[in-house]
Amino acid sequence: MRTGLLRVVSTLLFAPVAISLSVRLFAQGNGNAVPSGSAAQAADSSSKYALPGCTIDHTKPTDADTALTARKYADAERLYNDALTAEPNSSAARAGLVRTTLAEGKLHEALALAMKYSSAHPNDAVLLDALGEVRFRRGEVREAAVAFNQSSRIDGCDGQTHYDAAHFLNLSSLHASAQHELEVAHAQAPENAEITRAWSASHAVPQTPEGRIASLKKRLDNPSLNDEQKNGINAAIKGIESSEKGSCELVKPVAQAKVPILPISRDSAFAKETMYEAELELQIDGKKRKFEIDTGASGLLLTHAVAKNAGLVPEAAIKAGGIGDAGPVNAFVTHVDDIKIGPMEFKNCMVNVLPPGSTLDQVPDVDGLIGPDVFRNYLVTLDYPGFEMSLDPLPPRPGDTAKAPSLATSEDQAPPASFADSARDRYIAPEMKGWTPVFRSQHFLILPTLIGDAPVKLFVMDTGASKSMISPEAAREVAHITSFNDSKIQGLSGQVMSPLKADKIKIVFANISQVVNGMDSFDMSGISRSAGVDISGMIGFPFLSQLVISIDYRDSLVHVVYDPKKGFHATPTD
């Protein structure tokens, strides 16, 4: 994710500050995978996970529920209001109105409505669960956990609460515990269409590429398809065929590696002093290329000029997006024969190619982006003050067998098993007890962050952002905000129109703090939709470049060290 070459005005006040997120969600599992099965075993699974002393809820979806599921929000709101008129004490109708408002993206209104209902009916488990859903979507994870726990204590049999707990636990990388909650939810509410879909998806064993292609080709035989639908199916087929061309495996085992981090600077004579981003040098098919390190991106992204120069041809069309108001841009997938990173060599790797004229084309000496998640099979350390990236073995989980790591250049590298069979909980090795648990959604590392005296917010760690930024909603809680902003904020999806400016905000994450003067602010609802929770801001490169950051992508753990006496630390300018 790029935000242009922006001047940063900040005061570094690094200090240890603790953030406590110790609320524990009810009924977490034992950390092991939940046995999977076919659809024919659904009844057996339901009986296994049904809660003793609880009555199974066989309530059929109402017309209002069906309208909400179909995203017919006006109809859903009308039908829930009709139900509430007919039955003024209906908790289900009240909760339905809250969920409809939330589904429309009206987070503030949904919270006001949920709090109104739960305040009037403080011991109503259904309304407390709806409040927890709103809190979770707003990124208020502590408050969401409290609401879910209260709901469960009042009525531990409610399938919806267990389903919502599964969402919470998945974001926390407690995947086996999440699957357990989903199993209970399905057992307790087998008629709930949303829960049943999620349960079925979790037990579905991924098709082989051949099977997926065969299924898609069979769909092409449907005479009712229009041209747009046919083009979409053909694009999906090409995408599968492309992904099967490479697994990006190591040529020979390399357990550890150290790779120099290079400054991207405004003045080569003072490269470290004027550094505004950082990059790694890779060899792509024998040619040296420089890739900006971007935790806000995933995989390897090449500029169009580099791909053209290398003779790479499109294998499948994709959409790429990031910061900006222009929406997703056209890109394509292709393969490179060979990638060398330090002492490591990988063969037959999938890469994405950006369109001509992208933001990266404006940056000299940068040939693409590299998301550190490509190294997610390793323990990744970005030592910015020491200008070095280290890759080390992940601590083995108890019972795991060792396997050769690969470079994860594609999100499609999925295990040949259902999610229910492969789900594992976060493992914190004894030597990593002091690391900070973070949330993870796709490649996003989502950090519990304090801003001023406001409740804990969620920020994305984004080394590709040229400065830290904040949403207007979060900024208004702690600072004065103005529409006067002459910054140009631009990303892969074009320019951000009409950004705002917050005067002075203190940011704290992983026990480190910084004060930023003149913090850019813009609507982050697009990022929030991708992450599944409300993202209040991004912690950008000027802050992160002062730190040694270690990342365990597998278990969503981060270790951050600030040592002003070690390495090089740029002095911010006013």
- Phi, psi (degrees; rounded to nearest 5) at 246: -155, 145
Residues 312 and 349 in one domain: yes
Confidence at 43, pLDDT banded by 50, 70, 90: low
The reported pLDDT for the residue numbered 406 is 66
| 13 has a pLDDT exceeding 60 | no
207 vs 19, residue with greater confidence: 207
Residues 301 and 370 in one domain: yes
Lookup: tokens for 559: 């270790």
- Element containing residue 112 per DSSP (H, E): helix 107-120
The reported pLDDT for the residue numbered 72 is 97
407 vs 424, residue with greater confidence: 424
**Distance (Å, rounded) from C-alpha 249 to C-alpha 407?**
6
The reported pLDDT for the residue numbered 176 is 95
CB 1 within 8 A of CB 465: yes
Number of Cβ atoms within 10 Å of the Cβ of 42: 17
Domain end call among 346, 377, 408: 377
354 vs 46, residue with greater confidence: 354
- CA 133 and chain centroid, separation: 18
Reported as half-sphere exposure (CB side, CA atoms, 13 A), residue 525 has a value of 12
CB 207 within 8 A of CB 218: no
Residues 190 and 267 in one domain: no
The reported pLDDT for the residue numbered 20 is 40
Q: What is the total count of domains within the chain?
A: 4
Confidence at 1, pLDDT banded by 50, 70, 90: very low
Structural domain includes residue 387: no
- For the chain, what percent of residues have pLDDT higher than 90? 51
Mean pLDDT of 245-274: 83
Structural domain includes residue 409: no
290 vs 34, residue with greater confidence: 290
Structural domain includes residue 496: yes
Confidence at 54, pLDDT banded by 50, 70, 90: very high
Tell me the per-residue pLDDT of 492-535, one tens digit each, with 9 for 90 and over: 777 787 888 998 899 998 888 889 888 999 998 888 988 889 99
Mean pLDDT of 185-200: 94
The reported pLDDT for the residue numbered 17 is 36
The region, left, alpha or beta by phi > 0 then psi within -120 to 50, assigned to residue 173 is left
CB 458 within 8 A of CB 290: no
Reported as half-sphere exposure (CB side, CA atoms, 13 A), residue 533 has a value of 30
Strand partners for 10 = 516
570 vs 200, residue with greater confidence: 200
Confidence at 178, pLDDT banded by 50, 70, 90: very high
Tell me the per-residue pLDDT of 272-289, one tens digit each, with 9 for 90 and over: 888 889 999 999 999 999
**Distance (Å, rounded) from C-alpha 276 to C-alpha 29?**
44
Mean pLDDT of 259-284: 88
Tell me the per-residue pLDDT of 355-366, one tens digit each, with 9 for 90 and over: 887 777 777 788
Question: What are the CB-based long-range contacts (under 8 Å, 24+) for 53-56?
Answer: 53/157, 54/156, 54/157, 54/188, 55/157, 56/187, 56/188, 56/189, 56/190
Number of Cβ atoms within 10 Å of the Cβ of 297: 27
Mean pLDDT of 118-126: 96
Structural domain includes residue 519: yes
Mean pLDDT of 194-205: 92
> Whole domain around residue 339: which residue ranges?
249-377
| 139 has a pLDDT exceeding 70 | yes
Mean pLDDT is highest, among 187-191, 350-354, 365-369, for 187-191
- Phi, psi (degrees; rounded to nearest 5) at 345: -130, 130
Structural domain includes residue 450: yes
Residues 496 and 519 in one domain: yes
The reported pLDDT for the residue numbered 239 is 65
DSSP 338-384: EEEETTEEEEEEEEEEPPTT-GGGGSTT--EEE-GGGGTTEEEEEET
Q: What is the pTM of this model?
A: 0.84
Least confident of 55-59, 283-287, 332-336, 458-462: 332-336
Tell me the per-residue pLDDT of 370-397, one tens digit each, with 9 for 90 and over: 999 999 989 999 999 999 999 999 999 9
| 214 has a pLDDT exceeding 70 | yes
Whichever domain contains 347, its CATH number is: 2.40.70.10
Whichever domain contains 143, its CATH number is: 1.25.40.10
Structural domain includes residue 187: yes
| 197 has a pLDDT exceeding 80 | yes
Residues 286 and 359 in one domain: yes
Q: Which DSSP category does 442 fall into?
A: T
Mean pLDDT of 467-476: 92
Average pLDDT, the chain: 84
Give SS3 for 20.
coil
Structural domain includes residue 53: yes
Residues 287 and 217 in one domain: no
Annotate 47-72 with b (16+ C-beta within 10 A) or e (fewer): eebbeeeeebeeeeebebbebbeeee
Residues 137 and 86 in one domain: yes
